[in-house]
Structure 1
């Protein structure tokens, strides 16, 4: 291998019309390929720009990241004719690569969200076809890095002194293989690279948004502004090749405006209401739009999504356009009592929590006789609408909303459609929620100053998401984030990877959240036959299981880790709910804390997860040649403990209030705690509970995740269907009736009759409650995997139809092949067509029957 040789020169503007981060190219060069050998990193160093700003002072929720984008530029001279070229790269922050002025790679927001101390992902590109390969030829390498994922509030807790990541940095190695077979490595260093603050991106961060000044040249075209880099020693963790959860712009599903209008004046304002906007003009689909100073253009894309707006527009040089994303419009004459923050017809932004300092896009126009294209790529937003203003007249030829997601088109696997349009909307809302929140990590929401990898949201939805996309690689990556954030004792966090909050030392071992460390690998193994995820995580999972087994997952025993708090059945409508505060009160001494019955409830739920986790470990142990008997014994012990600790002999809870709730009964039934009369009595009480609540669910994040399947498995599929079609609050279709295009955080995030839910925590693009689609796939369509033969090698097909659905058409590209289930009614006749892929078998149970029949691969029709 030859030595590291650079030719360092001052670089003039090298490509007319070339792009910089923030202006997405029509095309890119280079394709993602396998990483170079780890030893190649020895030829490189982390480098930063000496003139990069560093945020100082105490951090608060609205603290913005440092201004400026760091650029790193070098020129490489070929030591011979090049046969192949690979560029292995990583960064502290969000980085974008350029080769001879062309963007390298279609992946955006690299390197993604990981544990800031322990792991960074590398992206290696084959750039052979993009370089000048002649002997002695020169190629210009350039990189732009902005604070996201590093010198950003997303990883820095409020109260911290400065951002955790101080300066962004870049590290990379270019490997040239010459025609004679020899290789040469060119790594980042302080001798051959230049670095400095430059380029059109004046500010960019995950929460803040992006400020872009098109009058500025990209860093590789103004190297006179760059100087000698400095070594960055902030990161001492491991660099691993990207293995899933890469992020893409989904231009194939770009959203066009469904409505657009301009307003300037307001009418009907009062002391208690902001009034209503006066629309001065509306624009038809595809029609160019203009905006003048003092006016506001509102564009509705009709679909909430994690996305970025993409413009083709023009204005005088120096004109500044400001674009503010929003999830919904103010209404009701802007009544403050409805939680509105502006006049009816304007965009609502209070639920973003930092609307004045974050989620803002500014674009400054350069001189241009023709319209220019612009798409921000250093950040992302969560929105359905945008509100646009400008300092001078702007003409917008076109605007689109381009989804940003780790669910690339190539990994989408399942489609399911019914004859009920409301249910179809619910399914669509779930799909868009997954696209929006599977974004490097399983974010809870894409719009406000949070976007964290909450672990309960993750575990309750993992199986649902596995039907709509092949998420195996995604979760290999995310489980590394979990292992990175696990404690030495074995405790899993509320958020992974470690971030601004949710994974503090006192946010570990929260029931239903920590258990994602077991539930996610088990689900991915079951759905995809992926034993690799079991092997990768076995030591970590075993450590966690030993931890909960040693203390029976007891809340008090673990209080040093859980902070004497549990999220529990978050946002339920039941007693002892944590978010509302009903689980807490003053004791006899006046001290505020969890109520005794709340602690019993938490201990019961955690013991229920102990059973679930142990059963999953038993399954995974058996599948990978480990000791399954140990975990079966743990299941038995945990069940015995539950019966003795929490129940009377007749199957009633010792803590009386638990007998009035849905979630405790659901967990008992799911875990088969009782048989016989005690079980039947519990089912009867649960039926009565639903009747008392007008056939409405009362469950939160945890209870809802097991609700539909548990009802079905225990002879209450009639109630499950009533819940599916229910339109009162709380229900899935209530949000649909109230205009939802994604799954909401709360059952009542918005109410036509009352307005906004609590703005302090109110997202219109969460995905956890979309877990109902797991039941639609497995029960309504009848497609389930069998843990005894994971990866759908053996399929459990047990469809339960309902005339209110009308028809069912489900197609799933499983790990074993394409599975289909399609049914309809002709009068009272039910006709079902299903397909089992080659190499798979299925056990089929027809509606209303208890006996099953085994089928080989093929397509079949059943009429009943």
Structure 2
């Protein structure tokens, strides 16, 4: 059905009460607008970047909490058809987060367009077939409009601390409309300063990624307020390339919308003292579907039961001009608000200190219009990371419905795998991992969705990349992100700690972070059998591995690039951990810096990744018909270097402290650096280490990424199972016992007995440690891809069962078809049923056996 425009807004500035009412109280949607392939790149020549000439600009030094400029930029034009139109295609992009409208109809399912990219080098475009909402008859008029807000351009997320103003100065819009007439001729209408009008207008009065969104529903959208629009100016800020977006777009997951789990109103406090904020007085509670009434001076708290990247969606009503403010949070204050527990308010109120800018950002403000019925509102220009919200109002507000709507690049159609066990704690761990992925695969693979960061941290990315492929088809997502990675690569070949370039930037060659530039393409190729990502990244990867090879990844040689700092095995419980300061001290001259043992440790880890990277380059060279011998030789050279520099003949580390740690031993085993008695001795020491720590892991980001498969591959699957089912700190289940609904940044982000972990860097939605689910898929369920025949054309099926979880039921829609693996115990009998898809083969190794047997496509049942 086509939407006909009632009145050309440029023909008359008279807005009737009926039209104003409909705009304020409803959001028009149109399902007949569909996404299509981009127009030819040459068509961009028909357009220019345009901005609002007097748009406000942030000046002065930008610090944490500096807010973006107020207002939304609107761009509007009227198109009059010179002939009857058969098809209308609209190719669009923006500097800042944008939405487009055709005759007042919002076009496109995507939100937060065009996404997060390198601000200097790449903009993504979106093209829509708008024919069904376009008035097509000759002589008819159509209003095309766009709203652009600062997100990912003119806000703090890409602007370094102390920068003079925001990196992006003004929001801008660029587009080309292609009209195909019924006689077959075409016409192009591009953004320019003559046919388009622009101005700061519309109900969004402030919006940014960190800031949140302010929305005044009394104000009409820009296409309804021509008096606020005038001649735009050309914008020359962006000189990079515009490319079509083919992955990592962002969507609302309305199918996952979360209703309240608990709702209450509080006012006033009891039990406060100098050391404790006290406890809130709860006035009333509401059932999840009950209409909520909140008044001025009261505080509404809503628990959605699940932490995620999301926005709250409302159906509510109040008198015109009533202000509602909403503040998201990951947890509630407890323990009578004891400051010694890291609390920032009364027990029962929301805790926001871990957001880092609790007073300046991560908030929502809505001003009610004049409307006799309930209105709907859901912000489109920002996102939050939260489980709880608290709401305050300036007057009486009736909330008929409130939902938490997840925001993610993982569409429902992308989800590929589901795995269930007989252990509810393990199932919760799997659920927490999936929600962490949904939350952090958001345009880029972010570290966390809640605080003033939300960046494409590269170690988090490479650690979790393979795990994510089991839960969703992430291939196009990582094709996009590898463009971000290559955009951010240094001239010397170094890869960054964050991609795309953002507020934290400049450091390169941080071990385990930089290596994502090779690990991610290799992982995508192995899991999907897609050589295209190798071709896309080959030159970049080759430049990087040459740099690693030339420098032997030596910390001191690379000091100018790594800034004399390594994150290394971040947030581990072991000696020489960087975040806690264990890697640093004073040298003989009394100057602060990394300890000699720490530098040795970093160099060992770096050389370990040199081996890994070279091996992956060998695999990818073979896959694409390139000469792999150079990389085979590089693997041998790197191994010889590590053995000679860091290990003794009996398999001990020359730097004594490394012999007391888990992570160095794990990397030695992963890379096959020890053999015979030396290997036996190292495994014995590693077993003793776990025993000395009460069968608890001590590893951080890097060590945990290889922990479980290395243990399993080296005869220590018993320890792997102990670690999985361990409930002491540190362990995966410890966080669940302490209330986790996603994966945490720290093993001890929160402790029931003592409260918050360090608030300066403490995220409750950080997916990296969810890498354990890679092991659950590959070693518990026994579904793994063979690099010799990638994309699951040949499957490695080697399940390692344990009675304590009862059963496993796994279904995975791989690149080569549906794979199933289900096992259970009936008494002492282990029963395994599995499916090899058509056209595939599998190497099957039964528990306690060493020799694999080959299976073709089919369904199988084994008892033993």
TM range (shorter): over 0.9
1:38-68 CA-to-partner distances (Å, cap 9, x unmatched) read 1110000000011210000110001000000
Deviation (angstroms), 1:16:
3.4
- Structure 2 distance, partners of 1:155, 1:11, is 41
Determine the structure 1 residue equivalent to 2:5. none
Preserved contact between residue 670 and residue 710 of structure 1 (Cα < 8 Å):
yes
Q: For 1:175-190, what aligned pairs fall within 5 Å after superposition?
A: 175-190=178-193
Q: Deviation string for 1:438-475 (max 9, x for gaps)? A: 00000100000000000000000000000000000000
Number of aligned residue pairs: give it: 855
Q: Find the counterpart in structure 2 of residue 240 from structure 1.
A: 243
1:24–1:758 CA distance, 2 compared to 1 (3 A): farther
The residue number in structure 1 matching 2:660 is 660
Distance 2:689 2:187 in 1: 72
Q: 1:297 aligns with which of 295, 300, 309?
A: 300
Q: For 1:129, what is the secondary structure of its paired residue?
A: helix
Q: 2:213 aligns with which of 202, 210, 215?
A: 210
Q: Does the residue aligned with 1:514 lie in a helix, a strand or coil?
A: coil
On the 8 A contact 1:268/1:276 being kept in 2, the answer is yes
CA contact (8 A) 1:23 1:375 kept: no
Give the Cα–Cα distance (whole angstroms) in 2 for the partners of residues 121 and 401 of structure 1.
28
CA positional deviation for 1:22? 12
Give the corresponding residue for 1:111.
114
Following the alignment from structure 2 to structure 1, what is the Cα–Cα distance between the partners of residues 10 and 31?
Answer: 25
Distance in 1, Cα, partners of 2:548 & 2:31: 49
Q: Which residue of 1 aligns with 2:590?
A: 590
Contact kept? 1:460, 1:768, Cα under 8 Å? yes
The answer to whether structure 1 residue 453 and structure 2 residue 470 are counterparts is: no
Q: Separation in 2 of the partners of 1:620 and 1:467? A: 21
Residue of 327, 348, 351 corresponding to 1:348? 351
Counterpart selection for 1:366 from 366, 369, 374: 369
Change (3 A) 1:630 1:11: farther
For residues 699-738 of structure 1, the aligned pairs below 5 Å read: 699-738=699-738
Q: Aligned-residue CA RMSD in angstroms?
A: 1.3
Partner of 1:86: 89
Instruction: State the Cα distance separating 1:83 from its structure 2 match.
Output: 1.2
Partner of 2:539: 539
Corresponding residue SS for 2:78: strand
Q: Which residue of 1 aligns with 2:567?
A: 567
Query: Counterpart in 1 of 2:133?
Result: 130
Match of 1:483 among 477, 482, 486: 486
Give the Å deviation of 1:805.
1.0
Change over 3 Å in CA distance of 1:487–1:21 after alignment to 2:
farther
Q: How does 1:69-80 map to 2 (within 5 A)?
A: 69-80=72-83
- Separation in 2, partners of 1:142, 1:795: 51
1:363-402 alignment, distance < 5 Å: 363-402=366-405
Match status 1:799 vs 2:799: yes
Matching residue within 215, 221, 224 for 2:224: 221
Work out the CA distance in 2 between the residues paired with 1:205 and 1:520.
Answer: 30
Partner SS state of residue 621, structure 1:
helix
- 8 A contact 1:23–1:377 mirrored in 2: no
Where does residue 637 of structure 2 map in the other structure?
A: 637
What is the Cα deviation at residue 85 of structure 1? 1.0
Name the CA distance, whole Å, in 1 between partners of 2:179 and 2:326: 43
Do structure 1's residue 404 and structure 2's residue 407 form an aligned pair?
A: yes
SS at match of 2:599: helix
For residues 556 and 98 of structure 2, the distance between their equivalents in structure 1, rounded to whole angstroms, comes to 45
Structure 2 gap segments, 5+ residues each? 1-7
Equivalent residues of 2:21, 2:371 under 8 A apart? no
| Contact persistence 1:29–1:102 (CA under 8 A) | no
Aligned to 1:3: none
Aligned to 1:16, the other structure's residue is in SS state helix
Corresponding residue number in structure 2 for 1:812: 812
The 8 Å contact of residues 10 and 226 in structure 2, kept in 1 or not, is answered as no
Seen in structure 2, the aligned counterparts of structure 1 residues 53 and 19 have a Cα distance that, compared at 3 Å, is farther
- Closer/same/farther in 2, CA of residues 700 and 810 from structure 1, 3 Å limit: same
Q: Given that residues 26 and 375 in structure 2 are in contact (C-alpha distance below 8 angstroms), is that contact kept between their aligned partners in structure 1?
A: no
Q: Distance in 1 between matches of 2:805 and 2:215?
A: 49
* CA deviations over 1:799-818 (Å, ceiling 9, x no partner): 11111111101000000000
Shift of 1:19: 8.4
Aligned to 1:4: none
Q: Distance in 1 between matches of 2:639 and 2:21?
A: 65
Alignment partner, residue 270 of structure 2: 267
Instruction: Tell whether the 8 Å contact from 1:21 to 1:201 is kept in structure 2 after alignment.
Output: no
Task: Output the CA distance in 1 between the equivalents of 2:388 and 2:527.
Answer: 36
Q: Residue by residue, what CA displacement relative to the aligned partner does 1:86-105 show, whole Å, maximum 9, x if unpaired?
A: 10000000000000000000
Partner of 1:432: 435
Contact (CA 8 Å) 2:485, 2:499: kept in 1 or not?
yes
For the Cα contact (< 8 Å) 1:314–1:372, is it kept in 2? yes
Paired residues of 2:111 and 2:252 also in contact (CA < 8 A)? yes
CA distance in 1, matches of 2:584, 2:105: 58
Are positions 1:602 and 2:618 aligned together?
no
CA distance in 1, matches of 2:592, 2:635: 35
What is the TM-score of this pair, normalised by structure 2?
0.98
Q: 1:155 aligns with which of 137, 154, 158?
A: 158
Contact 1:611 1:671 in 2 (8 A): yes
Whole-Å separation in 2 of the counterparts to 1:547 and 1:587: 29
Unaligned stretches of 5+ in structure 1?
1-6
Asked if structure 2 preserves the Cα contact closer than 8 Å seen for 1:8 and 1:193, the reply is: no
Q: Secondary structure at the match of 2:712?
A: helix
Residue equivalent to 1:307: 310
Q: Quick check: 1:74–1:194 contact (8 Å CA) kept in 2?
A: yes
Whether the aligned pair in 1 keeps the contact of 2:30 and 2:107 (CA below 8 Å) is: no
Could you say which residue in structure 1 is the equivalent of 2:4? Answer: none
Query: SS of the counterpart of 1:403?
Result: strand
| Partner secondary structure for residue 19 of structure 2 | coil
The answer to whether the 8 A contact 1:22-1:376 is kept is no
